[in-house]
Structure formats: structure tokens, C-alpha cells
Amino acid sequence: MHYEAGFRPGIKHLTIGQAERILQAYGLDAAPLQLNGRADVGKNRASAVARWFFGLLSFTIVCLIPGIGWLAAAIWLMSFVVILVRLNRRQKYEDNLGRIRLVTDRLPRHS
């Protein structure tokens, strides 16, 4: 079974927003999802800057490998583009899903 995004999403790769919607559908509290600084803008920004810095540093080092550096860089860039396209598709799917009213009367309620 495939979805609009081109793949069947697994539960272990849920975003925080998806997990919140699932918990809300079951009538459970979603507050524990924001523990450990997940909602902290400063930590998230610092994490993104560090990821990009070390990614670009690694890319630069790979490009300097004599002989095969250009090939490794091309493969790296193609992988990056594929990942961005998949993330974009998934985000569009989630945005469209957010506009649809959840049908919760068929879901079992946990007390």
C-alpha cells in the first residue's frame, strides 16, 4: 500500500506533528512529546547549523580525494537532491492531511 508521497510511512519515522495528531485521535495527552528540548527554538537552530557545518566540511573533504573525489561528490549531491524531494513530498502530503478532518469515531478509545 503506497500513499501520495510514494512510500508507506512507518511508525518509527513519525514527525512530532504526526505523533501529536495520532495521540489526539486516541484522546491522549501529547505534552510528553515536547520533553527534552524538542520545542526549544535555540537548540533546534544550533543543531541545524552544526549539521550543515559538518555536512559541508565532510563534502569538502570528500571533494579533495584525488581521482574519485568528483564522482563521490556527484553521488553525494544526487543523494541530497533525492532526500530533499522525498522530504518535500512528505511535507506536502502532511499539509494536505492536516486539512482533512480526522475520523475518530472508528478508533478504539483508551482510558
Q: What DSSP designation does 7 have?
A: S
Owner of C-alpha cell 503506497: 2
Task: Give me the helix-helix angle, 41-63 and 69-99, nearest 10°.
Answer: 150
User: Rounded to whole angstroms, what are the CA distances from 54 to 42, 58, 59?
Assistant: 18, 6, 8
Contact, 59 vs 76, CB < 8 A?
Answer: yes
Q: What digits encode the pLDDT tens for the residues 38-88? A: 667 788 788 889 998 998 998 889 888 888 888 988 998 899 899 889 888
Q: pTM to 2 decimals?
A: 0.48
Q: What is the pLDDT of residues 27-40, one digit of tens each?
A: 888 888 777 766 67
* CA 98 and chain centroid, separation: 16
